[in-house]
Amino acid sequence: MAKDFDIVVAGSIFMDFFCYAGRLPTPGETIIGTDFRTGFGGKGANQCVAAQRLGSRTAFIGKIGKDSHGEQYYEHLRKEGVNVDCIEIDNDFSTGATSIMVGTNNGENMIISVPGATGQMSSAYIERRISVEAIQGAQVVICQLEVPVEASYATLRIAKAANVTTILNAAPGQTGLPIEMFGLVDILCVNETEAELITGISNIQNLTQAKFAIEKLVSDFKSKHVIITLGSDGALLWDNNSEEYYEVKAPSVEPVLDTTGAGDCFVGTLAHCLGRKDDLRTATEKAVRNASQSVLTKGTQTSYPHYIIE
């Protein structure tokens, strides 16, 4: 049966406020910056736009505030081609906002996010008829943890009951997540820090430690397929079907200007490729290439490619 959407994302919407400087400040230090920009962000919306730009038919489930930032973001997503029917305006909370400092010497960042309306997403909100129908009509559904856990949990429950492929980007990392939620996830995507928080394993810095974390995610959390992204080193994939690890190397790129949102580019590209029926290993390889390309441009969504990088 034909699906209404290739990708449905239930997640966060944040306006991004970027400050660039030659390096990041130390605690208590004030430094002079080199550039300031505003942009569209939030892990959920970033992932949705990344997939949409590659040609997927996408829909977004989320909340914005009744303010100018919300109006701008709604129009932005609509212009990108994202279906916005499931976005709701919250009259009591502002649109989510993120303050991002970027050191241009290496592209590293420091981020503070204020959820605002995004933080008001609940399981009841996800269980609205319009949201349920969108989730059931998708090939792939993506969730993250910038929204309340109950909202992501409800999304995954509805998707699995409809036999929809599910991706959980467990970011930002959290402790104490309900183990039952992982059983609803087909593909778990985390970086090293997020894997540390979920598993309790400290200092994941190499492939051996990453494999140990994946073993715990599979054995203790009942995860199926697991991807740990490793920044400039690429990603490590555990394919549960073949019961094999695949190390996916990242291409060497320079100059690295801004790593903000590269992980979201990875997830959106991965979902797009899976929706196009790529196998998981191939999809991971393409996602690593596109995420690597994104660090060459300042900003989050502004850096996302419109095609798969070869």
Task: List, as one string, the DSSP characters of 87-152.
Answer: EEEESSSPPEEEEEEEETTT--EEEEEE-GGGGG--HHHHTSHHHHHHHHTEEEEEEESSS-HHHH
Confidence of residue 107 (pLDDT cuts 50, 70, 90): confident
Report pLDDT digits (tens) over 212-271. 999 999 999 999 999 999 999 999 999 999 999 999 999 999 999 888 899 999 999 999
Confidence of residue 210 (pLDDT cuts 50, 70, 90): very high
Q: What is the mean pLDDT of residues 29-33?
A: 96
The predicted model scores a pTM of 0.94
Check residue 164 and give its pLDDT: 98
Percent of the chain residues past pLDDT 90, beyond the cut:
92
Report the chain's mean pLDDT, rounded to a whole number: 95
Report pLDDT digits (tens) over 124-161. 999 999 999 999 999 999 999 999 999 999 999 999 99
Percent of the chain residues past pLDDT 70, beyond the cut:
99
Check residue 226 and give its pLDDT: 98
Check residue 172 and give its pLDDT: 93
Q: Which residues are catalytic?
A: 264
Peptide bond just before 178 cis, omega within 30 deg: no
Q: What is the mean pLDDT of residues 179-206?
A: 95
Contact 159, 166 (CB under 8 A): yes
Confidence of residue 2 (pLDDT cuts 50, 70, 90): low
